[in-house]
Structure 1
């Protein structure tokens, strides 16, 4: 059975101090609970080192929200995988729609970042998703398949099977709108089927697929109960202690 992954993307929110309070609240709530799911928090870059320190010997891991695929060089403002490794980060979000829309990140760049993440033993969470216009034009599946084909170019099967793919419909990110459980399952199932075409059914069966897009405590259980959904990439709700804790426990309940 695939292990659920609940990841909180804090985006450009919080300080080292406020992030520390959140993490201490999460780790205190989880305590020594015997969890069957993975928990990841992704603070801003400035708070990563403190987050790693605070989560040491807990059930919470730390991810970055982005990275450059170069190890070093004249890339002003960027953060390399070596820098993330040095402070003990374990996960990295790649290809979030906000990176694509606001900063011109392409599928080719996503591909290079996936390769770099695996080379440096970082766990990539790779985001895909369609706009409202694409959904209304019935282009959702073909668009996402295209994203996957380009992002996975020359990625070997033994790495693909370790991927976490986050399906995040752009129209549901930060809007309060959420895909229904059936809508989310339909796309996540199609992602798994397409990976089976690109690789093998066995590889596809091992890939974990999250749903992201206004996931909250009141809809998490229904979404996470779907057979092809293996967790959630949580935005605003990951900044609210009780909300995030309830989402974690929903994942734990459906994992039993």
Structure 2
């Protein structure tokens, strides 16, 4: 059974029942206040520094004043310095895929916030599903990472999303709500200016499956409703929420047309300069949900 065959019912059950205000319309003012943000998460790729430099230069070359979004590349630790140099003054940002919660000490193989800042990185990921599932990071671990980044003036892309089993059980809304509330515990309304949320349905990451744009919009609207409950509507209207999960040049335009989808966190396609260049230069036309 394909996900799209039962997803509408599952999502309707988990989202609408859980959050009755999830689909409140947004004003044009709140829409225009959020500049889209598209990021490439290279994960443990590419294989060498030379390949990372070449990829960074190609992507930077596709970024221009007409590109309709902010762009960042999240590179492996050994390539951060070289990728910063590769993108140069293009305007493309470079971030780390994670940062440890301690500033220094006997923590073999860990990397601190001050280390990534020292090579020119002002963004980092937290809570990616691979860190949750493969490395056992808890919501409490992720919350510590988020607070550490923000308290050290580094922007955070907080990744949330449900597993396949949770999706099939209609738990999309509750899972995303729980992760938002636990992972943002202690984050102030002012600090939310440096937070981006990335909704990544785990079942769509690296599988070739993409959550239909209309369903992704519904989840994003629910997340924005949760943020409004936590921080007030004014703050919620300014927070950018990315979609992640097998985003491609063929799917990006429809996704970005949705009013609560403010960008994308791109995996495999960010490793192919031609594909990622098309993604960051998506057709800019917002339509109603």
**TM-score of the pair, normalised by structure 2:** 0.85
Shift of 1:212: 0.1
Shift of 1:19: 0.7
The answer to whether the aligner puts 1:131 opposite 2:163 as a matched pair is: yes
Gaps of 5+ in 2: 1-31
Please tell me the root mean square deviation across aligned C-alpha atoms, in Å. Answer: 1.2
Match of 1:144 in 2: 176
The answer to whether the aligner puts 1:16 opposite 2:49 as a matched pair is: yes
Pick aligned residue for 2:272 from 224, 229, 240: 240
Pick aligned residue for 1:28 from 51, 58, 61: 61
* DSSP 3-state at the match of 2:170: coil
CA distance, structure 1, for counterparts of residue 66 and residue 268 of structure 2 = 26
CA distance, structure 2, for counterparts of residue 125 and residue 62 of structure 1 = 12
* DSSP 3-state at the match of 1:8: strand
On the 8 A contact 2:67/2:280 being kept in 1, the answer is no
On the 8 A contact 1:129/1:167 being kept in 2, the answer is yes
The structure whose residues are more often helix, as a share, is 1
Match of 2:135 in 1: 103
Match of 1:194 in 2: 226
* DSSP 3-state at the match of 2:250: helix
CA distance, structure 1, for counterparts of residue 207 and residue 170 of structure 2 = 21
Gaps of 5+ in 1: none
On the 8 A contact 2:154/2:194 being kept in 1, the answer is no
* DSSP 3-state at the match of 1:73: coil
Where does 1:1-256 land on structure 2 (aligned, <5 Å)? 1=32, 2-14=34-46, 15-30=48-63, 32-250=64-282, 253-254=284-285
Shift of 1:36: 3.5
Shift of 1:56: 2.4
CA distance, structure 1, for counterparts of residue 60 and residue 37 of structure 2 = 16
On the 8 A contact 2:245/2:266 being kept in 1, the answer is yes
Count of residues paired in the alignment:
253
On the 8 A contact 2:40/2:74 being kept in 1, the answer is yes
Show CA shifts across 1:88-132 (max 9, x none).
112101110000111111111111111111122111000000011
Show CA shifts across 1:210-239 (max 9, x none).
000000000000001110000000000000
On the 8 A contact 2:75/2:96 being kept in 1, the answer is yes
Match of 2:28 in 1: none
* DSSP 3-state at the match of 1:217: coil
Shift of 1:24: 1.1
Shift of 1:33: 3.1
CA distance, structure 2, for counterparts of residue 86 and residue 161 of structure 1 = 22
* DSSP 3-state at the match of 1:103: coil
Shift of 1:73: 1.4
CA distance, structure 1, for counterparts of residue 256 and residue 68 of structure 2 = 13
Larger Rg: 2
CA distance, structure 2, for counterparts of residue 36 and residue 121 of structure 1 = 25
